[in-house]
């Protein structure tokens, strides 16, 4: 009974705190750590016997390393080898050495100091990559440097996981001999797993895929992961190493994305449980007793990492501004740091009070990371005494002004495939345009071909002014990332309130937000694709072309009203993110006792309940957009459209009233 209460306490605190932290835009990892701290023996002591959970939670790390292996790309590593080797490897080695020496200076044993060095040398792959993706900074040079360093850090985790158990006091014999033994075992296990991955696994997954059963595919994925991790554990190595190798083997297969999707729910839940168990070890008394020491530790290790990365990036030939920015992005402690802390305390290499200090420092550093990444580029420019626009951009602006007097032209923000397609049609109609793109290679190649393309962010005032926004007749935002599009729309609107703005988006998720920000026209690719398909269907069905054009224009004018709201299917995405943006169509059959019977559609005021009446079916005949004065009768079917919860409430209202 006690164990059930403990599990209930853990789940309740996790749900509440994760919800709160996500509302505050803080990482979920921090929420799990705080939840563990709250219910653990040093907090409210709801869950004291947490040793049992640790064995279960270790599977979270196994699955995390498996997905890391899936995403680990050897070709990508080779493509970025200059940055990975020149900056990434040196960052890990020098950070590890510096922090180890400093820890030994403060009285830690070699084993404990080495763990501290390894923990502080790593940064958070999960938080940094997510923030860079959301902000669109992945393509910037500072983002590329950060990704290269993270790539090497992910590789460095594996030997650290092997070394730490060998530092345990109970380990007998010399360290060199133990490492040599581990190396021999490692080579043998890797050889076995790579052979299995090359010859056995592809055939196995082909057989499983032919059965077309999702459950079997998931079970096979779990089995492969756990067998690989059990094999490495049997050879005296880390379970996580086996999972990483299994992921690597399957990373190049055609099933990579399906495997990642299947394993994600198990990984996220078990990883959450792992971080809860880590949080249980955090002694809040240690933090309260020495807050100054915690803050000093955080500021000290973050500052040292920033300076180290900055120096290495400059020596590798990068600009000072980008070097500072990448250092600021990677200053925090990473999620693998918590993994190493848990492993080190388990084998009694790291004292519990030191582990608590590191956990507290890690939580603080990760808490400020989103803010630091958002401002990294701006702070980097300030530290390097540079303005936000590069010198090359100033040169480009001059050339553009000298060579072209732009007026009544089109500005294309984003010169990818869509932007280039738009430009080709504009050229055919002899309409001037200027494009803005953040990809340096694409910009260089386009300029060499004689295109008017500026390098930089469309959110910069200087670039929009250089593109003569004040005299442009249209702005096309073509990169399809809604968050970035909204920022560009707001910037354009602040500089030119009247210029028409056309925005491309992948689907209609953010249609209202884009229009609210100031977009005149929003073109969702998925809906436009549907319209083109409908046009072809109607044309081949014999409908006159003029009638098709009118229908399509009417649909666009009504903001694609007929393309919203579909009947729910077995595989419809009902995740929390999707439920807030999708619209369902729902057929409501009225009975003799239904509240709506005998009332007009107008009197029911369904639009006030934020649902739309799509059609009314009576006696086998369907009437689209029925008249408001239509009186509903028994056996009528009212088809409505709206968000899932609103549709449910509207159905209840039509039957029960109130």
Task: Give the domain ranges of the chain.
Answer: 53-270+300-350, 391-519, 576-656
Chain centroid, CA 634 distance in Å: 50
Partners of 413 in beta bridges: 436, 477
pLDDT of residue 299: 92
**What confidence score (pLDDT) does residue 207 get?**
82
Quick count: other Cβ atoms within 10 Å of Cβ 279?
A: 29
Asked if 393 contacts 455 with a C-beta cutoff of 8 angstroms, the reply is: yes
Dihedral over alpha carbons 195, 197, 202, 207 (to 10 degrees): 90
Q: Which fold has domain 53-270+300-350?
A: Na+/H+ antiporter like fold (1.20.1530)
Please tell me what DSSP assigns to residue 631.
B
Cα angle for residues 559, 501, 512 (degrees, 5° grid): 40
Architecture of domain 576-656: 2-Layer Sandwich (3.30)
**Distance in angstroms (rounded) separating the CA atoms of residues 442 and 422:** 16
pLDDT at position 372: 87
pTM of the model: 0.56
Give me the CATH code for the 391-519 domain, please. Answer: 3.40.50.720
Tokens 């002694």, residue located: 283
142 and 81 Cβ atoms separated by less than 8 Å: no
Output the CA–CA distances (angstroms, integers) from residue 331 to 108, 118, 306, 313, 359, in the order listed.
Answer: 23, 14, 6, 14, 15
CB-based burial label for 630 (10 Å; 0-12, 13-18, 19+): middle
Question: Which tokens go with 590?
Answer: 């009225």
Q: Is the dihedral of CA 55, 57, 63, 65 positive or negative?
A: negative
- Bridge partners, residue 589, by sequence: 637
- How many other CB atoms are found less than 10 A from the CB of residue 638? 25
Indicate the SS3 state at residue 477. Answer: strand
- The answer to whether 514 and 505 are in contact (CB under 8 A) is yes
The maximal CA–CA distance of the chain, rounded, in angstroms, is: 91
CA distance 95 to 121: 5
Q: What pLDDT was estimated at residue 492?
A: 93
CA nearest neighbour of 499 among 413, 383, 614: 413
DSSP string, 554-607: HHHHTTSGGGS-B---TT---SHHHHTT--EEEEEE--TT-TTTTSBHHHHTGG
pLDDT the model gives residue 72: 64
| Six-digit token string for 103 | 């820890």
8 Å CB contact between 341 and 161: no
d(CA 132, CA 129): 5
pLDDT digits (tens, 9 = 90+) for 479-512: 878 888 998 999 999 999 889 999 988 876 777 7
Rounded to the nearest angstrom, the gap between the alpha carbon of residue 253 and the centroid of all alpha carbons in its chain is: 22
Concatenate the DSSP letters of all residues of 183-210 into one string. HHHHHHHHHHHHHHHHHTHHHHHHHHHH
Closest by CA to 68, choosing from 333, 253, 249, 278, is 249
From residue 459, how far is each of 452, 485, 488 by CA, in Å? 18, 9, 5
User: How far apart are alpha carbons 83 and 317 in whole angstroms?
Assistant: 10
Pull the structure tokens for residue 394: 């100033």
Mean pLDDT over all residues of the chain?
Answer: 79
Instruction: Note the pLDDT tens digit of each residue in 308-354.
Output: 999 999 988 888 888 899 999 999 888 788 878 888 888 888 888 88
Strands 433-437 and 410-413: parallel
Which pLDDT score is estimated for 116?
Answer: 92
According to the model, what pLDDT value does residue 388 have?
Answer: 47
Q: What is the pLDDT of residues 262-273, one digit of tens each?
A: 777 777 787 777
d(CA 99, CA 64): 26
Please give the distance of CA 215 from its chain centroid, rounded to a whole number. Answer: 26
- Cα–Cα distance between 628 and 603 in angstroms, integer? 8
Pairing outcome for strands 521-524 and 410-413 = unpaired
First to last CA, the chain: 44
Name the stretches of the chain with pLDDT < 70. Answer: 1-3, 41-58, 71-80, 126, 130, 133-139, 170-176, 178-179, 182, 212, 236-238, 252-254, 257, 281, 386-405, 508, 557-582
């Amino acid at each position: 009974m006690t164990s059930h209460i403990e599990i209930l306490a853990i789940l309740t605190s996790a749900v509440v705190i994760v919800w709160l932290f996500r509302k505050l835009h803080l990482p979920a990892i921090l929420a799990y750590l705080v939840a563990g701290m709250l219910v653990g023996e040093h907090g409210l002591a709801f869950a004291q016997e947490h040793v049992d959970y640790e064995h279960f939670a270790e599977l979270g790390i196994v699955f995390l390393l498996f997905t890391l292996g899936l995403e680990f790309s050897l070709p990508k590593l080779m493509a970025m080898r200059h940055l990975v080797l020149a900056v990434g490897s040196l960052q890990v080695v020098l950070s590890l050495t510096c922090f180890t020496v400093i820890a030994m200076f403060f009285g830690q044993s070699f084993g404990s100091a080495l763990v501290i060095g390894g923990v502080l040398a790593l940064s958070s792959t999960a938080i940094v990559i997510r923030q860079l993706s959301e902000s669109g900074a992945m393509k910037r040079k500072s983002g590329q440097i950060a990704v290269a360093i993270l790539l090497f850090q992910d590789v460095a985790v594996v030997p650290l996981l092997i070394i730490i158990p060998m530092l345990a006091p109970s380990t007998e014999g010399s360290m060199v001999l133990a490492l040599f033994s581990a190396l021999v075992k490692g080579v043998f296990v890797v050889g076995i797993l790579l052979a299995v991955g090359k010859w056995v696994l592809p055939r196995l997954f082909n057989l499983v895929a032919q059965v077309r059963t999702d459950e079997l595919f998931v079970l096979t994925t779990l089995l492969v992961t756990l067998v690989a991790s059990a094999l490495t554990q049997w050879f005296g190595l880390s379970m996580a190493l086996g999972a990483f190798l299994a992921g690597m083997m399957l990373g190049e297969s055609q099933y990579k994305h399906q495997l990642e999707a299947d394993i994600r729910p198990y990984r996220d839940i078990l990883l959450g449980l792992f971080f809860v168990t880590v949080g249980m070890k955090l002694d809040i008394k240690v933090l309260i007793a020495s807050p100054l020491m915690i803050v000093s530790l955080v500021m000290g290790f973050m500052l040292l990492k920033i300076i180290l990365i900055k120096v290495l990036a400059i020596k590798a030939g990068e600009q000072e501004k980008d070097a500072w920015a990448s250092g600021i992005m990677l200053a925090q402690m990473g999620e693998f740091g918590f993994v190493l802390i848990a492993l080190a305390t388990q084998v009694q290499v790291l004292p519990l009070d030191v582990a608590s200090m590191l956990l507290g420092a890690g939580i603080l550093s990760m808490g400020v990371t989103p803010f630091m990444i958002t401002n990294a580029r701006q702070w980097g420019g300030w530290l390097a005494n540079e303005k936000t626009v590069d010198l090359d951009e100033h040169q480009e602006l001059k050339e553009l002004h000298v060579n072209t007097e732009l007026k009544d032209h089109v500005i294309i923000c984003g010169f990818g495939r869509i932007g280039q397609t738009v430009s080709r049609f504009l050229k055919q109609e002899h309409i001037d345009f200027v494009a803005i793109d953040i990809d340096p290679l694409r910009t260089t190649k386009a300029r060499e071909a004689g295109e008017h393309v500026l390098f930089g962010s469309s959110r910069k005032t200087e670039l929009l002014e250089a593109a003569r926004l004040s005299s442009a007749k249209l702005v096309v935002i073509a990169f399809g990332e809604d968050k970035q599009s909204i920022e560009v729309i707001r910037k354009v609107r602040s500089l030119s309130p009247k210029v028409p703005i056309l925005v491309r988006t992948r689907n209609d998720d953010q249609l209202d937000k884009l229009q609210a920000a100031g977009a005149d026209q929003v073109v969702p690719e998925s809906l436009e694709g549907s319209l083109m398909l409908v046009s072809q269907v109607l044309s081949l069905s014999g409908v006159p072309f003029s009638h098709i054009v009118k229908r399509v224009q009417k649909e666009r004018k009504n903001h694609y009203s007929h393309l919203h709201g579909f009947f729910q299917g077995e595989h419809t995405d009902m995740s929390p993110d999707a439920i807030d943006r999708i619209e369902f169509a729902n057929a409501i059959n009225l009975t003799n006792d239904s509240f709506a019977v005998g009332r007009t559609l107008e009197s029911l005021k369904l639009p006030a309940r934020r649902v739309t009446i799509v059609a009314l079916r009576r006696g086998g005949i369907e009437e689209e957009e029925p008249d408001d004065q239509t009186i509903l009768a028994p056996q009528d079917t009212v088809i409505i459209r709206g968000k899932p919860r609103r549709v449910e409430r509207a159905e209840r209202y039509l039957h029960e009233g109130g």
